[in-house]
Amino acid sequence: MNNTIAETKALISELKPLVKDAKCDVVICVPFTDLAAAVAETAGSNIKVGAQNVHWAEKGAFTGEISAKMLVELGVEYVIIGHSERRQYFGETDQTVNARAKTALASGLIPIICVGETLSEREGGKTEEVVVRQITEALKDIESSELENIVVAYEPVWAIGTGKTATSQDANDTIKVIRDQIAKLYCPNCAQNKVRIQYGGSMNPKNASELMAMPEIDGGLIGGASLKAVDFSQVVNY
């Protein structure tokens, strides 16, 4: 929940020349009120726009929610689903994550599906159990042909907005658990070559190179570092 329309325009304007030669996909996921401005400001650039949530119903009595059709009409291409803050503060469950993901895919949106354990779950030795359950439920009834249109983000809840970061090896090991589970649900090739798995726990200019050097980490879901164009560009261009 950051940035007004004016602030979003200014940030994108500063960001565009800094990431124009990026060797990776660049996506910014802004608040609903900033989406139209973000789509207009990124037009003709290599930056794509995503939303931070989407409802599973096409329309109806769901005050405060946004449908996939509304997002597509705006020109949005990605959507974050199941972010730890949605789970922690707004009652998101594994089942609603699955419902939202299926609707996003059916509408042509690319879901960025978030999974990750809390501090108590990690300290209780339940990290593997939690992420396996979350990814299994999130992908329920989704065909293997859709995996190319899905991004998974591993974001340990205890590392979101705290400045704490899992060690690069810890992040790599947990992402391997997620990838191995996708291989079991679908096929090894599907897990290795079709789905992208990002790390989302306080990645920033200082640790991006070390994290991205790990073999299982395909990208980053950037939080605080994305609010400053220079910092975000340094992660993108690590």
Query: Which residues are marked as active site?
Result: 83, 155
Residues 217 and 172: their CA atoms lie apart, in Å, by 6
The residue written with tokens 């949005």 in the block is: 76
Question: Burial, 132: exposed, middle or buried (Cβ in 10 Å; 0-12, 13-18, 19+)?
Answer: middle
C-beta separation of 139 from 100 below 8 A: no
The helix/strand/coil state of 114 is strand
Helices (H), the chain: 5-19, 35-42, 68-74, 84-89, 94-106, 119-123, 127-138, 168-185, 188-189, 208-212, 229-236
